[in-house]
Amino acid sequence: MTMRASDATGTLDDGRPAWQTTYRVRFDEAGPDSRLRTSGFMRYAQDLGWLHSTDLGFGQEWYAEHGLTWLVRAAELRIDAAPAMGTTVTARTAIIGIRRVFARRRGEFLLEDGTSAGWVHTDWVLIDRRGALTRIPDIFSEVFGGTDPMGPIGRIPLPPAPADATHRRFAVRPHELDPLNHANNAVYLDWLEESTLDAADPEGQAEAPTLALPRRYRMEFAMAAEAGDDLDAATWRDGSGWSFRLTGVNDGIDRFRALVATGLAADAEPAQAAEQEESP
């Protein structure tokens, strides 16, 4: 019997059915503070989405047979608490919108006492064998739901990096690649936080501002970074937060853009800070 969204085992904060599982924060997922790294939330969200999709009959073999692939184009991540190593995180997910060629998935993360550790909205686009955007088949709405009205994919059109921006140069390493042979989208968060720490304190002695709680990341994955790509990471203060741009050294093309907000700014609605959003 084919499962439907109504057969899910969890419930999102807004009451809609969700697929749910748990993760134990492993030693290798925690930083020097013994708490889950920010990129760990994105890794859980990716795995959660694949588990959900596979459980409903849309695993890697199905996508290979149909010549289809999902790519992340944008994400918004809110961190309320950093789970400690060894604790169990309850994770739940659901498709909350489908719009032509992209789908928005929400992930929610709960601590052992039931309070929120954070949430993430991830915008995925569907591409065909040629790498071209393709419309999402009707069967996805039938199986996953997500027919509610939704906004467009988030865009982060940053201005040029100012003269006082901090720059780091590095290359994509093999262990940072995922099964699509691209830098995994969670890795971009590691690069961002490494760069922000350098920009805040070149000696690495102060706590990174991106460890503040709460904090919110708005991210646009403009172009996939591939094995061996030489990249330039520019980081600079932007009001109460930070801006980050990752560019190819050889071609000057943006791979990734992000904004980080902390404190009261993290509670602001994205629309207040992003009038530039548009449809794909």
Q: What pLDDT, on a 0 to 100 scale, did the predictor assign at position 208? A: 63
Q: Kindly report the number of other CB atoms within 10 A of residue 246's CB atom.
A: 26
Please name the residue ranges forming H helices in 69-130: none
Residue 144: its H or E element: helix 138-144
pTM, rounded to two decimals: 0.89
Q: Quick one: which of 161, 177, 12 has its CA closest to 92?
A: 12
DSSP letter at 263 equals G
Write the CA distances from 138 to 105, 178, 273, integer angstroms.
17, 28, 33
Give me the average pLDDT of each 10-residue run along the chain (280 residues): 50 87 95 94 94 91 94 96 96 92 94 97 94 92 81 87 95 94 95 89 59 92 96 90 95 96 78 38
Q: What pLDDT, on a 0 to 100 scale, did the predictor assign at position 61? A: 93
Crossing angle, helix 38-55 and helix 185-200, to 10 degrees?
A: 170
Helix (H, G, I), strand (E, B) or coil at 51: helix
Residue 191: its H or E element: helix 185-200
| Matching residue, tokens 């290979």 | 64
Q: What pLDDT, on a 0 to 100 scale, did the predictor assign at position 211? A: 75
Name, in order, each residue with C-beta under 8 angstroms of 159's C-beta and a sequence gap of 6 or more. none
| Matching residue, tokens 């902390």 | 262
Indicate the burial class of 219 (C-beta count within 10 angstroms; 0-12, 13-18, 19 or more). buried
Beta strands in 222-279 (DSSP E): 230-238, 241-248, 254-262
| Matching residue, tokens 């503070």 | 33
Q: Give one DSSP letter per residue of 147-188, joined into a string.
A: -S---PPP---PPPPPTT-EEEEEE--GGGB-TTSBB-HHHH
Q: Quick one: which of 50, 12, 21, 279 has its CA closest to 180?
A: 50
d(CA 144, CA 70): 15
Q: What pLDDT, on a 0 to 100 scale, did the predictor assign at position 207? A: 54
Q: What pLDDT, on a 0 to 100 scale, did the predictor assign at position 269? A: 64
Q: What pLDDT, on a 0 to 100 scale, did the predictor assign at position 252? A: 95
Domains of the chain from N-terminus onward: 7-152 (3.10.129.10), 154-280 (3.10.129.10)
d(CA 128, CA 135): 9
Residue 42 structure tokens: 């994105």
